[in-house]
Structures are given as structure tokens and as C-alpha cells.
Structure 1
């Protein structure tokens, strides 16, 4: 009988081998190092599994690795054994720190969903949240139950965790997403699938709750108003804009889109998040909106109204540009963004309108004088607000 020889050896899956080695290193030496730095973790029967399935603990550990990198440097080396000091250069496992963080975030989401809903082999565990976390999760649960159809509300079942993880896993890459895992878990799976990478625009629990507050009706209304391409762009960029699009209706949406979209691109969706801003924009002419288009996603409806009331057409972009430059984005948004400071908005606009300007070159003269107006506020905000 002819010798057919031994069966061919299976080809080595290098990628799978690298993943296994990464997991082995994290579960073993890296977790041991964490236990040295935070001895309290040793009280857990399974420190690695507990940390992985508990977003608050995991985020604290990821932050520790980032801030005390020296304590983990022996694991952060390249193929030649040289220290890697950034998060983008591949380590000896052919993955960068950023890529490994993405792996950990996805693994943590799977571990949390299994704990939250149970799996085919294990029942759901009782999850205890901090009071501040519990409060917004309760609110989020009420919003989902009240504003999304019953068929879309997550229900405990043997496969719910798998469905949730399958819907969100391709959009998990960043350490800042870890504390949000419990909130993502409350979003209807159908909505996660709709959002696609738009999930990554939801960077706070409040943002996720705001999306739930919008409700299915607004999302469906926006879909009827927008083209397929615009709907996809909105969901990928700022899904909270669905509320504003639904508020506008087709005719008013088309007017505002035609007036400013080409000038500001996908920042248009940030503009649509605030309905008060949209309401103020509707009563202005397209030329005035064009003049302030670069700042519309930052400013409030009150700012728009006061600017148009007090400033001349060509003064508008000068005023906003100097204000943002002199005040800085945070202070600018606190004053001129929603909800803003109505008193200061009016004072700044009024002072600008009364500033004496060189009639031969009023715009250049305004550029020279305006920094002093905002500088006076920065030097003594209280005195400025009192009109001193």
C-alpha cells in the first residue's frame, strides 16, 4: 500500500499567536504589576477578570499605565528590545499601545455585557454602580423606555450581550470609551447599528442621554427630510443633530442648509444640535448668516440676535474672530455659546457698536480697537459686567 505521508502541518496564524501573547502578558505580568502598585486589587478572587468587567476600575488602570509609564516600561519595547516611548510605534508584538488599548476596550465591553446580561453558560451578575453613575443610568433607562419603541429596548436574554457587543465592537478603540460602556449598553441595539461610527461622537454620559431623549420620532423625521448621504453624514458626525433637523422641517432645513453648508461642511450638524440657535437663524437673512458661518456651531441663538441687532454687516466676522482669539475657546463658549451669558453678549455687542472708528478705514480700526474691549473684560470681569 502506497505511503500517503503525514498530513501537511497547519499554517501558523501569526496574528492569532500575537493576540494570545498580548492577552497572556496582560493577564500575567501586567496584572501582577498592577497588584504591586494597587495591593487592594489582590482582594479579588480574579483580579484580571474583575478589573476587565468593571469599567471604573479598568479606566483607572489604563490611566495609571499612561501616567506611570515608567512602571510598565519593561513591557513597552520594540522587536529589538528598545524602549518605546510613544503610543503609535509597534511593540515587539507588532501592535502599538493605541492598538492594544483598542483590544482591551473591546474585551472589556464583552466582559461587561456578559456580566450585565449573562451568557449562554453563565447567569447575569448583580452590577453595583456609584450613586452618580446610577442616577444618570436610571435617567437613561427612563428615556429609552419612554422615547424609543418597546421592540428596541434592550431586554435581558441569553443572547442580548452578544447582540450588543456585535453591534458596537467595530467602533471601540479609545480609552475614554471605557467609562461609557455601561451607558452604551443602555442604547437600543437598532440605534447603535444606525449610528455606526457616530457612536464615537458620544463622549459623555450626558451626550448619550441627550441622544436617548431625542427619541425615535425625531430620528425618523430627520430620515424623511435628509437625503441618504446627508443622513449618513449626520449620524457619523453628530447624531444629536436629528433633533434640530426634525424641528426645522424640510423647507426650513433646505433654506439653512443652502445658506451655510458649503461654507462650513460637516460642522453644519453641530449647528443643528441647538434648536434655540436654529430658531434665531431662521429669522436672519442668508447674507448675515454667511458672515457668521464659521462660528455658528459655537454661538447661541441670543448671540445671533444681538449681533444682528447691534453690528453692521461687515463688522460681524471681525467681532467674532477677535472675540474667539482674545478670549480663548472656553471663555468664548461660556459667554457666546448656548446657553451663554445674555448680559455680557449684549454688553459686548453694544460696546462694539458705540466704538468710534476711523471713517477712512473702519474695519481695520475695529480690528485694532476690539482686542482692548475683550482685554478689559479679562483683566476685571466683575468690573466690566458692572459697567465700570
Structure 2
């Protein structure tokens, strides 16, 4: 007689155990500590669930843990009990604080999705009556005699669809206040964006994407290769409007002229349709000279630079200008919307400079710092032409 083979006991999953421990700690001691620091949380019947479902509250609590770390240090220790002060170092649970925050961000999105998409009023339980029709009798038999595994699973809700589409792209605490805005995007668009969702860092950016519309996304798909479309969505989804504005022929021209020099900054350049319109009348060689800064320059800056500067002067002007002014001030003057008057003044001054005929470019590089330093010393006087 054959003997039954003993099934070895299932080995415990350390990761699953650690995850349960993390959730238990957050629901218990961490929530209790937060309640002592934010007494208003005690008014909620379930402070943990209430905080998790409110992006505003959840973000505030996350910030409190980061800024008042001393109140939570007893939980932030390694396997030996030593304090862990870096957010990317493993704790006793073998996960870092950054990884735990990612877990909480995703849990927060799930909880918010339920409150956003699931009706708050539960359906009334019908009064049980004897089944009258064959369909009612069958329903009664299935619910009473068959196991749950054999009953058809409940269809995913809109909250499930939202969470399943977005969960793999939620990792950072700065995303928490944006969860309500993400929830208003079509699930299909969230899936299309993929990692590109993490490039949308403000409500205004999300609203701008929604304003672009399906037409621009579809138009961009028809214009670009699949690889370029994926790179654009991953890098700067708002560029879809600019690609649709350009059309196939002009996109191919610009991509061929400057993409190799710009890389992923090419997509940032394509966000501004006014900039793209100004570039339409320029030749490829001039645009190549500006490639390092095309993602910053406004339409007016492009026009003035090409109008007043010699071909070889363009990269010198952009390099020295951004170095002397600093990236922030340079973008304030020459970016969008920029300062049209100052942009023109800088370009005119350079065009009127008397340069050494033997090596005009080297002489320009020597003199340009004085022009930018004159502005930095007295911006108002410089703008008045003094």
C-alpha cells in the first residue's frame, strides 16, 4: 500500500512578516505618537484610517515625522537597536524609511480612491424573502451551498482601476498632495504616462496635461516613433502639445537638427509652442549653436540672439551668460516669459562691441563678463542704459 507523501510545511516569508510588522507599528505606536503631537487626531474614531484617506493630513504627518524625527527615533533603529539617521539605510524591518514612505504613499492612494469613487452611503440590505423565480432560487442556492472560491469574483471598482494604474509610480511623499489631482485623470492616460507621471510635480502641471487633451496625445503618436513617444511620456508628457503643433515634417526637422545635442531636454523645449513657432523660421545650423539652452530660451530671446549675434558668438554668449548670471537669473531674463527689453539690450551691446579682428571670439569671451557684471552691479541703471 502506497504511503502518502508528507507535504513539508510552508516556509515563512520574511518579507511578508516584515511588512505585517511595519503596518502594525504604523497603525499602533506611530499613530499614537502622532496623536500626542496632533491632538486633533484623537477626535477621529479611527485616526489611522482617517489620516490615510486624507492626502492633506497624510502629507502633514509625513512631514512631521521628517522634521520632528527625535519623537520617532525609537522606531528608526537597525537590527542591533542602533539609531538610523539616514532615510535610505535599512531599519530593523530590513526596509529603509524611504521604502516605508513609498508603502504609505501607495496605501494613501488606495484609501483616497475608495473615498473618491465608492459611494459613501452603503446600499440597504434587502429583506430576505422566499425565492420566487428560478434566477432567485439559483442565487440562493449558490450563496448558501457553494464555497467563495467558486463564486464569481466581484468586478473591480473604479477605485481599484485607479489604484492598479497608479500604484507602481507612487514612491515619494511629495506626491501625496497630488493624489486627488491624479485621481481626476482618466485611468487610460495614467497607464499611458507610466513613469512620466512622476514628472508632474504640481497641480498646475497635472491640469496642463488634462488641458492638452486626447487629440494631442494621439497626434503625437502618429508623428513620432514608438521609442520617442515612450521617451517623451517618461520625460515630459506636456511636450505632446508641442509635437502636435509642429506636425510631422517640422518635428522631423527639429529632431534631426538638435536632438542629438539636447537629449531628453528636447522634450522640455517642445512644451512651449511660442518657442517652437520662433524656431520655425531659423535654420538648422543656428539652432545647433543654441542647443544647450533651447529648453530655456523664450521665443523673443531666440529671435534677438539670431538677429544681433554672429553665428560663432551664440554659444559663447549663452555659456558666459548662464555662468555669470547663474541659471535662475539667466532663465528669468532669457527664459519664458523673460524680460524682452533686457534681452534686446544684452544682444545689442554685444553686436556693437568692438572686437579684436584677429580673434573676435576670444575677445568676446574676455569682454562678456564685464557686460554681465555691469548688470549685476546695478540692474536698474543698466536697464535705463546708464
TM range (shorter): 0.7 to 0.9
Counterpart selection for 2:201 from 200, 203, 222? 203
Partner of 1:67: 67
User: In structure 2, what is the Cα distance between the partners aligned to 1:263 and 1:233?
Assistant: 16
Partner of 2:377: 379
User: In structure 2, what is the Cα distance between the partners aligned to 1:37 and 1:382?
Assistant: 49
Give 1:265 deviation, angstroms: 1.2
Across the two proteins, how many residue pairs are aligned to each other?
355
Q: TM-score, normalised by structure 2?
A: 0.88
Counterpart selection for 1:299 from 297, 300, 313? 297
Partner of 2:324: 326
* CA-to-aligned-CA distance 1:287-340 (integer Å, 9 cap, x gap): 111111011111111110000011111111111111111222222111111111
Give 1:119 deviation, angstroms: 7.3
DSSP 3-state at the match of 2:197: helix
Give 1:362 deviation, angstroms: 2.1
DSSP 3-state at the match of 1:340: coil
Contact 1:118 1:158 in 2 (8 A): no
Give 1:189 deviation, angstroms: 0.6
DSSP 3-state at the match of 1:313: coil
Give 1:158 deviation, angstroms: 7.3
Partner of 1:14: 14
User: In structure 1, what is the Cα distance between the partners aligned to 2:248 and 2:241?
Assistant: 13
Partner of 1:183: 181
DSSP 3-state at the match of 2:328: helix
Note the residue ranges of structure 2 that are not aligned, 5 or more in a row.
Answer: 124-154
* CA-to-aligned-CA distance 1:245-302 (integer Å, 9 cap, x gap): 1101100110000000111112111111111111111111111111110111111111
Partner of 1:28: 28
Contact 1:119 1:161 in 2 (8 A): no
Give 1:5 deviation, angstroms: 8.9
Counterpart selection for 2:265 from 260, 264, 267? 267
Partner of 1:252: 250
Give 1:66 deviation, angstroms: 1.5
User: In structure 2, what is the Cα distance between the partners aligned to 1:365 and 1:60?
Assistant: 55
User: In structure 1, what is the Cα distance between the partners aligned to 2:184 and 2:336?
Assistant: 27
Q: Which deviates more, 378-387 or 339-348?
A: 378-387
The 5 A counterparts of 1:68-83 are: 68-83=68-83
The 5 A counterparts of 1:341-380 are: 341-380=339-378
Give 1:6 deviation, angstroms: 7.3
Of structures 1 and 2, the larger Rg is shown by 2
Are the structure 2 counterparts of residues 2 and 285 from structure 1 closer, same or farther at C-alpha, using a change threshold of 3 Å? closer
Note the residue ranges of structure 1 that are not aligned, 5 or more in a row.
Answer: 124-156
Partner of 1:128: none
